[in-house]
Chains A and B, each alone.
Chain A
Amino acid sequence: MKRKRYVLLTCSILLLLLCQNLSAQRGGEKGREAPDIPVVTHALAISNVRIVVRPGQVIERGTVLMRDGLIESVGTDLIPPYDARVIDGTGLTVYAGFIDGYSFAGAPKPENQNDSVAKPGDPPNARAGITPERDIRELLNRQDSFIDSLRRVGFGVAHTAPRGGMLPGTGGLLLLGGRDTNRLFLTGGTSLVATFDGANDVYPATPMGIMAKFRNLYHQAEQLKEQDRWFKSNPNGYLRPDYDPVRSSFFPTIDGSVPVFFRVNDDLEARRALVLRKELGFPLVLVGLKDGRDVADLIRNEKLPLFLSLDFPEAVEDEGDSATKKRDDSESESEKVPPNDSTSRRVPPPMSVDEYNRLSQRVSSYLDIEGERNRLIAIRDESHRTAVSLPAAYSRAGTKFGFSTAGTKGNALRSNLIEAVRHGLPEDRALAALTTDAAEMIGAGRALGTVEAGKIANLVVTTGPYFHDTSKVRMTIVDGILYDYSGEGKKGKGKKDDSASAGEKMPILFATNVAEPIVPGRIVAMNRDQSGNILIKNATVLTVTNGTLEETDVLVERGKITSIGKGLGAPSGITVIDGTGKYLMPGIIDAHSHIAVSGPVNEWTNPVTAEVQIEDVVDPYDITIYRALAGGVTTSHVMHGSANAIGGQCETIKHRYGEVDPAKLKMEGAPRTIKFALGENPTRVHGRGFGVPPSSRMGVEQVFREAFTKAQRYMVEWDRYNKEKGEKGKRPIPPQYDERMEALADILRGEILIHCHSYRADEILMLMRVLKDFGITRITFQHVNEGFKVAKELAAFGAMASVFSDWWAYKFEVYYSTAYNAAVLTRNGVVTSINSDSPELNRHLYHEAAKSMKHGGLTEDECLAMITINPAKQLGVEDRIGSIEVGKEGDLALFSGHPLSIYSQPILTVVDGVIRFDAENDPDDMRLKVNPEEKIDAVMDEEVGEDDGCMEGVKGR
């Protein structure tokens, strides 16, 4: 039955393709000569033409002879044979046809996947965007106008791939025209395409879900492949492996013969793809990179094939308000300069560091607004320049790359190439990216990329140098077939061509040696003393664990506190901070945070998602890291959200703001932690939202019991397999590998600390009973608003508590709350911390902690402990941070007065001995990344106030 349907399907696809071909031939492809005039020869020669054989190798005047779709010969003294149609190429230049490394040419738009499914946590593969078995050759839309858009700017071949979600399918090399429209694909199955585009409201919906799912599928595919091999070697007595189109699509990749083409938009996505490659060991090609300055070194060192996106950000023009107008007026003074001169605003000159410093003054009051505006525009334009000069930067770094047109508008293709050259990409390198390098990276170097005998007859013929926008593309030859664009005048040119017509006269502006993009926060970060050595003198030191030391010095060397005492000598060259009259406390630790995460913090599609990891989506560019530093906070426990009973794994980060590699923010060696959640959130999302259990607190308990029991059995199965594997005569089949079960097993083994979102007393007691039944001992309850009711039980279990200072009444389960919670818990012997769960509260945790003096009369030291050593204990890092002691890490916060006083300000924050916040010297604008299309006056209206930060990113619930 199944087979029958398959045959039927294949037939109908063939029929469809046939119809398309017929119509294509009848209507004629754009640029192609009239199809009703019979063809009399398959030999074509272009004579007297300037031939760019390959980048850097030119025949000034010669002839290219093509026959039957191949280049037959190339030479200066070549005389076209009698049977060739000859085109006089006098005054023209011919290049090898371009290659688009990753393209949507001919790829149909994906269907909207939004039908609801019974189990959003385990949807059908197609619904989840997991269709690696789809082959672009069976999907091709020959009518796609983008094929002509590519061809008319000189492309002859596109590596085109299906569109869709996480694993859209396999790509192939598509000829963008040619003799036989049934044979447009040079090859198929050349790539396994992957993206970080989450599925719509089903698993995996988020980048972190995709990371976990990718690992899971890959490992399972490896298992299946192995099983296949065993079965084929001797099926006798061996369980037949199931046919699985998804997992078996990975086989050629596991073999190393088909690379994963990972579509990555920015640095963080590129790094994620590299993480997967490092863990799983597959051949990887990065495609579509746009915002990728910070991974340039990494990609060069890893020698990764790379296709940069040609989809450049738009230059933001005049925003039409008074400040901009003034700016224009001031420029008009210099209007004697012809508008075609290089001062044209379209390519702003790079800003020098001096210029930046001049502009980076404080915005102290309304008086500075206009200066601020000019600075923001300059920084934004600089960011735009950085984006457009990405190819130039990669070229300078010596990295080979090609281009990807996926997502690029047809009319921007050539103008963007010219922009890239104008921003410093040498023409030779641009040509190589389009021809030789691209051919090599897609494994077609022997068939494509140069104008040499034996290669496929793909050529582009121009009226002059390709990257000069006065030149025009006269014709493109694909597979030996001529596409003539000479009669089209201005059509087919980029929309920017008019304004860019001055291009040839323009010098290449990017001549300075600015290695880093000039973004405010980076300049500061670059200039910080990175040695990890600092001496803070004569401060009132609040050690937290050893009382208060007046007029005391603290010395940090190589990131560690090496000495605490009076009158310490300063090692030579060390940064010295005068702490006279000031208060020094340990860096504040926030045990509950959702800052520094790119994308949603919840993979909300399943009640159990132990396999997803915040580690995969840490965002070092997040300005809220700096703002937290400005509140004295040096460490955050970045948590998965609370949509699921068993959420994802969390990450303890240090606020090393200025580092752009997310791995450098991780607190190395900190214990693994995981988020659990009880009560209203999981029952709302799953029970009332998706219609799957749990919908009550009773159901929540059963989620844990079921998950832990399954994990126990999973462990037993593996133990048995591992035992039998070594026994003679046994051919055991391994249990199916499962990322989720692996994580749950690690919880059972005590390798992952639990941090559980909870409010009500009953549910807190429930979870402690469950944990006891499964032998788990270490847990911190988060929020735990009714913890005060069961403080004795918490203390008896050894559970810890991380609470809000005074949040309540924002939902029913926190209606019977008290701001005295922290005091009751502390007095009953529960290790208690005050957390933020908010990018606003985390800026003043010192103040949040201070409120417990009012609410329950805690001492100053007790209050300070709740934001230092106590959260350190809850994260399992109390031997490293959380107090000022010799041997501990140099995480310190200097305040103008006692940190628990409302009138005190944090003035200096140090992480590992490096100043990361300096109120006096830091500029106002500390961003590390600036959107090149930023609108200067775009403001968020919403106040960040009291809200359950845990539910961020959960769609429609």
Chain B
Amino acid sequence: MRTLITLLLFLAISAPLLAQSGAYALTNGRIETVTNGVIERGTLLIREGRIERIGENLAIPSDAEVIDCSGLTIYPGMIDAGTQLGLVEIGSLSETRDDSEMGDLTPQAQALTAVNPNSVAIPVTRVNGVTTVLTSPSGGLLPGTGALVNLYGYTPEQMNVAGVHVLRINFPGRGRGGWWDHRTDEEVEEEWRSRMDKLDEVWDRAETYARIDSAWSVGGEKRLPEYVPVIEALLPAIRREMLVMVEVNQASDIDSAIAWVQRRNLRAVLSGLREGWRCADKIAASGIPCIVGQVLTTPSRGSDRYDKPYANPGLLRKAGVQVALRTNDVENVRNLPFQAGFAAAYGMSREDALRAVTIEPARIFGVDSLLGSLEVGKQATLFVADGDPLEPSTSVRHLFINGWNVPLKSRHTDLYDEFLNRTP
């Protein structure tokens, strides 16, 4: 009993500072709303998890905790539109990886199931102002559904934003894996063709299944379809109830993917797009939005200009494509603002770069009524920084996720605090 009390006491003392919810007044701050311009000096009120008011001369409610933001700027939380955060803990240890289910066709696998709310990488990410991520499975042709999650919560359900799930398709590619890939052109083409046939076959069957299923649900004499989980999982996508995220990178594959998505009449977003700039006109004409990244990567061809990956988002934007950015990372999702910063340094406007990690992903995932900008009624998912968040010299000073005032602590800050002046 005594040990139990000691243990409880110990836990109470060493437990991390818990996040607080309630009414907050962020005063005297510069407010970058993203969608409605900048308020140079204003106040933002938070209540019950929402942004209650934004304005220049607001009265401070008596119950609100005041946070003086003089000299600081308030931004909406940044959204990384493609990660494996929460699914992978330590890259090289397969026991800690839950980002890939066995087999090529596992669309029924749901990332949200395996998101570990206590992943050490989550606090490391959010203290940089990245508050929301799409985390998705990776391997195979149809690896499963990704989930949009806020980076604060104790259960996956608490973290999941508006129940958003996205079906991922790894579109068959004609690119090579790397220098070790010695396949001939013919082999590459043949393999691509057989992957395409497989995808088409699955989709044809799923469309048939959807017809049977629809007929049955209308009632009458119709037969119940045989339960096939792989196919069942595709129904929301076929019925345009779920967004389809099509991972594709090489220029010729992007062409094929656009045609495929149009033929199948899907609500789609393209992701990856290393060579998106090569066919930016076609993407723009299709009206399909894009999740681009990594920006910080090497050119896909030896003949490409060194800065093509940096310039890629800007070139897509210039052609009229709707662009969101991603890190495609796990432990360093925190560097999302720098991916945006490089896009801005190489041709994208800073405004567009900021939008690409805030409102654009929110629009793509259909959560722009909740996230992506500072507007009354939206989730209070935001951060306060001492400068431009795309600059590495900037620090985040306050962080709110869904109205929770989240302490700016992580393993990285803990180790710093412990070891900076180590004793003994």
Contacts and interface: CB of A to CB of B under 8 A. Distances in A.
Nearest to A630: B306
A944 interface: yes
B175 A941 contact: yes
A924 B306 CA distance: 7
A823 B300 contact: no
A811 B176 contact: no
Nearest to A853: B393
A901 B387 CA distance: 12
A81 B178 CA distance: 68
Contacts of B91: 809-811, 946
A855 B297 contact: no
B294 interface: yes
A818 B415 contact: yes
Interface in B45-90: 89-90
Nearest to A857: B395
A868 B173 CA distance: 41
Given A820-B415, A902-B342, A811 B92 contact: yes
B345 interface: yes
Contact of B297 (A376, A379, A943): A943
Contacts of A938: 176, 301
B141 interface: no
B416 A942 contact: no
A791 B298 contact: no
A184 to B, nearest CB: 37
A843 B306 CA distance: 9
A807 B297 contact: no
Interface string A591-627: 0000000000000000000000000000000011011
Contact of A807 (B279, B315, B332): B332
B378 to A, nearest CB: 27
B232 to A, nearest CB: 30
Contacts of A946: 91, 329, 331-332
A788 interface: yes
Interface stretch (A291-299, A362-370, A391-399, A484-492): A362-370
A902 B329 contact: no
A502 B281 CA distance: 44
B154 interface: no
A946 B298 CA distance: 12
Contact of B302 (A365, A792, A927): A927
A940 B300 contact: yes
Give the interface residue-count category, chain B: 35 or more
B175 A939 contact: yes
Contact of B279 (A362, A366, A937): A366
Interface in B296-345: 296-307, 315, 318-319, 328-332, 334-335, 338, 341-342, 344-345
A938 B344 CA distance: 29
B302 A811 contact: no
A924 B411 contact: no
Contacts of A812: 90, 92-93
Contact of A824 (B176, B282, B345, B419): B419
Interface in A804-823: 806-812, 815-820, 823
Given A369-B278, A816-B415, A851-B392, A824 B305 contact: no
Contacts of B297: 840, 943-945
A847 B344 CA distance: 14
A348 interface: no
Contacts of B279: 366, 369
A942 B345 contact: no
Contact of A855 (B252, B346, B412): B412
B151 to A, nearest CB: 16
A904 interface: yes
B281, B306, B413: most-surrounded residue (chain A CB, <10 A) = B306
A827 B420 contact: yes
Interface in A927-957: 927, 935, 937-946
Interface in A837-892: 839-840, 843-844, 847, 850-851, 853-856
A54 interface: no
Interface string A362-387: 11011101001000100100000000
A847 B176 contact: no
Contacts of A791: 419, 422
A902 B390 contact: yes
A737 B415 CA distance: 49
B177 interface: yes
B250 A810 contact: no
Given A369-B278, A791-B419, A902 B392 contact: yes
21 contacts: A321-B252, A366-B279, A626-B306, A680-B92, A812-B93, A823-B416, A847-B392, A850-B393, A853-B393, A854-B395, A855-B412, A855-B416, A901-B391, A901-B393, A903-B345, A924-B303, A927-B303, A937-B250, A939-B174, A940-B179, A946-B331
Nearest 5 interchain pairs by C-beta: A902-B341, A941-B175, A820-B416, A924-B305, A809-B331
Given A815-B90, A939-B300, 6 more contacts: A369-B278, A809-B91, A903-B391, A925-B303, A937-B252, A946-B331
